[in-house]
Structure 1
């Protein structure tokens, strides 16, 4: 994804005839504050590109980097009934030290549309790499996970991508009375307990649906 928010806005505005950030928010069906935050971070969420393709036929590659045709026919990106899921540069922390949180799209990976629809909301799905071994042996360092950002309700024992302040991580979640518990599969890592008064630090990014691993 193009890191320069203004370039993205100029392309979208020129193509769709909009003149303000409020109009862009209305087209994307997001809060005005989401637009302001993206502008401040100088980045654009991956699902915005897919939404503009789905609703208006704008080519994500053109919005992202100016390459390819400006418009796509409705079937062009979905030949053979496959759907492109973006993989972002952000990496989920699983016990490692430093990690990348940038939302820039690195590539798209095609999945069968019906398979994705059986799992959740395909337009809200994203791929991320995992850094660290706190979720081993289920999820290992270097694995890639598929996340559905529409699934944010917490079901005990399920695995989620979670943001805590400026950190994004992958954990199993459990709700205890007046607290949220972030659990690691690797027993060398102690649980993280977050009380009610700390919940404003937490955001549920989405549920982890699938794992991909290269043989080493």
Structure 2
């Protein structure tokens, strides 16, 4: 009998990957062990986990979720390649607070998007996914949100949300461009605007515009 509970999902995952413990699963997904324990208690595995793991290990997502079909389907793979494109999630973290110094560009994994949808946002080759930390952009963006960043969109448009690099700090803010000055605005009114001008502008980099965000509810 096919089931969608956590234990059955985890057993299938163990069959097809080198993941053998819940701690390894947590590391692979980039979540805390408590998140895995909570999912096990609730029973329902988040669709994002299924998608992430199926793409990373080339496993049929339907089989991984429910046990239906085969773990590796050539037809499924061909259909996937035809209809979907993969976008990398990088290790760099966007701070929606005082700034993040975790700016590594290492790829942590990939997320799949339907080609028609993502092409309406821009060229997928220019896009990366990054995680938000901090609360300065609440309620628009919250800690833990995954944002889709179009790195080709570096021209500042009024009201747009951008990933901004200031020296070794990476932030996500609403950006306003003024003569000789750039202002970084937070949606959270507890945070004051950041004014950058003069020599400071030499160290300011627009990394790209946020074009989409995903939020997982616990």
TM-score normalised by L of structure 1 = 0.62
Structure 2's unaligned 5+ residue stretches are 1-56, 58-76
Q: Is the Cα contact below 8 Å between 2:183 and 2:195 reproduced in 1?
A: yes
| 1:166 matched residue in structure 2 | 168
**RMSD after superposition:** 2.1
SS in 1 for 2:120: helix
- Out of 79, 82, 96, the residue aligned to residue 81 of structure 2 is 79
Q: Structure 2 CA distance, aligned partners of 1:158 and 1:97? A: 19
Q: Structure 2 CA distance, aligned partners of 1:98 and 1:162? A: 11
Structure 1's unaligned 5+ residue stretches are 1-60, 62-74
SS in 2 for 1:199: helix
Q: What are the superposed Cα offsets for residues 7-45 of structure 1, whole Å, 9 maximum, x if unpaired?
A: xxxxxxxxxxxxxxxxxxxxxxxxxxxxxxxxxxxxxxx
Alignment partner of 1:156 is 2:158: yes
Q: Structure 2 CA distance, aligned partners of 1:84 and 1:196? A: 40
Q: Judging changes above 3 Å, is the alpha-carbon distance between structure 1 residues 166 and 97 closer, same or farther for their aligned structure 2 residues?
A: closer
Runs of 4+ with deviation above 6 angstroms: none
Alignment partner of 1:88 is 2:77: no
| 1:185 matched residue in structure 2 | 187
Q: CA deviation at 1:177?
A: 2.3
Q: CA deviation at 1:100?
A: 2.0
Q: Is the Cα contact below 8 Å between 1:159 and 1:172 reproduced in 2?
A: yes
| 2:119 matched residue in structure 1 | 117
| Superposition map of 1:128-143 within 5 A | 128-143=130-145
Number of aligned residue pairs: 144
Q: Structure 2 CA distance, aligned partners of 1:91 and 1:168? A: 7
Q: Is the Cα contact below 8 Å between 1:173 and 1:180 reproduced in 2?
A: yes
Larger Rg: 2
Q: Structure 2 CA distance, aligned partners of 1:130 and 1:96? A: 12
| Superposition map of 1:1-216 within 5 A | 79-95=81-97, 99-216=101-218
Q: Structure 2 CA distance, aligned partners of 1:192 and 1:210? A: 24
| 1:51 matched residue in structure 2 | none
Q: CA deviation at 1:196?
A: 3.7
Q: Structure 2 CA distance, aligned partners of 1:79 and 1:159? A: 31
Q: CA deviation at 1:121?
A: 1.5
